Structure 1
């Protein structure tokens, strides 16, 4: 008398349908339906470890498309944020010092606008003044004016800037010092605006 073959409940895979694999590698879906009848979310996140490791061509193309889009969006954001940061907001005109308060080669530390990092007003000669951000464009150490040699010096890493233009001359700095626009009227030196780093 032959032994009857075991049967499975409707919808359940029988013994002959199941590959000879480690039980931990294959798990039947909770509802017992075959994979093709499972909802999309379950197919996207399979409980079969082998299926989980499989990456279809469509999935790979979707991944590459999303990655490329994210890269392009990131580059666009970087370009826009750099442009926004580079454009200093308009600030009101402000008196910094009287002409007769500074001797030739004299320096005054001031804030413009109020509450901003320190800036330097330097008198070059009888009629010319320049003003710069005091922070070095390398790592923001304070620069020291040396009018006798026509330079500004950053003692932290020995960077040098031209005192008349703010352009880097030597050392690590690669960008000019941010420059404050000036106007001299009726014996008073006024700050009228700011040129960001990179403009000299």
Structure 2
């Protein structure tokens, strides 16, 4: 009489113990380390190539944004320039001045928003704040001021041009 085996069918197909599946060999670890290191190296190389061979284009000429009547005091308008994907924000400050900045925080590129009545631009991702008059960092982790555009008001039209070098 043959003895009946109580081993489940799946254990016969997959004869690995739990301890064996949780352990990582040095060879597996080295493969994983090489794969991750190679990926990081390739990514860094692509960033370096993009920044050196494809520099960002400067804003040239005047670009119409809106009419002055379309933006009340304390209001904002998001816009992009033709041929660009960079988002900008036009601000009509409470002292009746106009400012235009890139709408990406200089920390991690989160969208920034103007807080009416405070004179500040907020980055809600990490509680960063910028001065709405100058674009300078007031608080938080952003490492540099917001890139700005010059704003020109001609009659009832608002235009932006590239920032003049300091």
Is this a same-fold pair by TM over 0.5?
Answer: yes
* Alignment RMSD: 2.6
Aligned to 1:184: 153
Once the two structures are superposed, residues 30-66 of structure 1 have per-residue CA deviations (whole angstroms, 9 ceiling, x without a partner) of xxxxxxxxxxxxxxxxxxxxxxxxxxxxxxxxxxxxx
- Moved >3 Å (runs of 4+): none
Structure 2 match to 1:138:
107
Distance of aligned partners of 1:90 and 1:140 in 2 relative to their CA distance in 1, 3 Å threshold: closer
Aligned 8 A contact 1:147 1:163 in 2: no
Mapped partners of 2:139, 2:59: distance in 1: 31
In the alignment, is the contact (CA less than 8 A) between 1:141 and 1:156 conserved in 2?
A: yes
CA distance in 2, matches of 1:119, 1:177: 10
Corresponding residue of 1:92: 61
Normalising by structure 2, report the TM-score. Answer: 0.62
- Tell whether the 8 Å contact from 2:73 to 2:96 is kept in structure 1 after alignment: no
Task: Give the alignment of 1:1-200 within 5 angstroms.
Answer: 88-125=57-94, 127-194=96-163
* Structure 2: segments with no counterpart, 5+ residues: 1-47
Q: CA deviation at 1:111?
A: 0.6
- Asked if structure 2 preserves the Cα contact closer than 8 Å seen for 1:91 and 1:113, the reply is no
Q: TM-score, normalised by structure 1?
A: 0.52
SS in 2 for 1:190: strand
Give the CA deviation at 1:167. 0.3
1:90: Cα distance to partner? 4.4
Give the length in aligned residue pairs. Answer: 117
Is contact 1:88–1:194 with CA below 8 Å preserved after alignment? no
Q: Which one has more relative contact order, counting CA pairs under 8 Å at least 6 apart?
A: 2
Q: Which has the larger radius of gyration?
A: 1
Aligned-partner Cα distance in 1 for 2:83–2:156: 22
